[in-house]
Amino acid sequence: MTTELEATSTHHIKTISISDVPANRRRGGDIRTILSPATCGATSGFLGTLRLEPLEVVTEHWHPYSEEFLFCVQGVVTLRLNGEERLLSANEGILIPIGVRHRLVNEGSTPAFLVFQLAPLAPAPHLGHVDTEDLPEETREAAR
C-alpha cells in the first residue's frame, strides 16, 4: 500500500546553488535571492544570502508585507532598526517585523555572511521593499 506522501513525485523539486543566481547590489553588499518564486516556484516567501565586505552597507529599507528572518553565519554586522543600533554576531539571528526600517553595515575587518528569509510574499515583487536611503555614489560606482 502506497501512502499519498509516498506517491507524490519529487522530480520537480529544484536544488539551487548560490552561484546559480546573480548578485543584486542595488542596496549594497552581495545579495543573492536563492529560493524564490522565480528560481524554484516558491509561493510563501523567499530565502537568500548576504555577503558584506568590511565597510560595506545595505541601505535602509523596510518591508510593508513581510517579516525578515536574518541569521549571521560569519562575522559581525551593525544592524540599525528604526534608528537604534545593535550588533548581530555569528550564530545569532533576529526577526525584523513588518514595517521596521533596517540597515546593515560591516564595521569590522573581516567579511560577514548572513542568510535571510522573508515571508509572506508581497502582492507583487516591486511592492516588497520601500527604500528610505540611497546607496552612496562611491559604492554605486564600485559595484559597476
- Asked if residue 135 belongs to a domain, the reply is no
For the entire predicted model, the pTM comes to 0.86
Q: How many domains does the chain have?
A: 1
Tell me if 87 sits within 8 A of 81, measured CB to CB.
Answer: no
CATH number, residue 61:
2.60.120.10
- Asked if residue 144 belongs to a domain, the reply is no
- Asked if residue 90 belongs to a domain, the reply is yes
- Asked if residue 15 belongs to a domain, the reply is no
- Asked if residue 128 belongs to a domain, the reply is no
Each residue of 107-140: pLDDT tens digit?
Answer: 999 999 999 999 999 999 999 999 999 887 755 5
- Asked if residue 7 belongs to a domain, the reply is no
Indicate the burial class of 115 (C-beta count within 10 angstroms; 0-12, 13-18, 19 or more).
middle
- Domain range for 116 is 21-122
- Asked if residue 132 belongs to a domain, the reply is no
Each residue of 24-34: pLDDT tens digit?
Answer: 999 999 999 99
